[in-house]
Amino acid sequence: MRNWDFQRLKPERVIGCNTAVRLGEDIVDVLTFGDLNWFRKNRKKIEKFQNLVVTNCEGAFREMPSLNFMDRRPAGLYRDALGWNGNTGAVAINIALLLGVRCIYLLGFDMHRTPAHSNWHDHIINPRAVRPSSYELFRNRMVRVVKDWKEYWPEVHIINVCSDSQLEGFPKVDFDLFWKLRPHHKAEVA
């Protein structure tokens, strides 16, 4: 997604994670994050962001009480809290479920590193923080997310729109084919 045109998301409902704040309110309807260091580095952008911001980062909430805060649970999906599961993508899934979304399309859930990059952007706080071994941890923690989704929200469809994702448990669809076939359909995207 590094060279993808994010403007294509304008007609969609988007829950953006972390640095998606740079995409702006025209694209990101709900912003979420879970890391205090990321918050401190990006606080000014968050303060200017006009759409909904939801976090389970208690330290950020203490520093900025105007944030929409929900308790953090270490693993799983919840109706009264947000499961951390080691990554903000899992938090976004939990938020989408709490908002009553019936179909969630995951973008950027490839769960592996490309040879040169760990993310779709170059605004990494600590480039050494996301090592190749981190992705195994992310994938292992998502097992609980998949389990809870199937058990507690079986009526919700979650589809991973990623051609080469290493994340198991969610049905996958080819990225290019997906966007070719659904150019104008309203969707909820996490």
What is the C-alpha separation between 109 and 93, in angstroms, rounded?
11
Provide the pLDDT for residue 80. 98
Whats the size of the chain, residue-wise?
A: 190
Provide the pLDDT for residue 136. 83
Provide the pLDDT for residue 56. 98
Provide the pLDDT for residue 137. 84
Provide the pLDDT for residue 113. 64
Closest CA to 138 of 180, 107, 110, 106: 110
- Per-domain residue ranges of the chain: 6-189
Output phi, psi for 160, to 5 deg.
-90, 110
Return the sign of the alpha-carbon dihedral for residues 171, 5, 54, 13: negative
In the predicted model, residues of the chain with pLDDT beneath 50 are 117-118, 120-121, 185-190
What is this structure's pTM?
0.87
Provide the pLDDT for residue 183. 55
Provide the pLDDT for residue 1. 72
Provide the pLDDT for residue 187. 47
Return the sign of the alpha-carbon dihedral for residues 127, 76, 107, 99: negative
What is the C-alpha separation between 95 and 84, in angstroms, rounded?
11
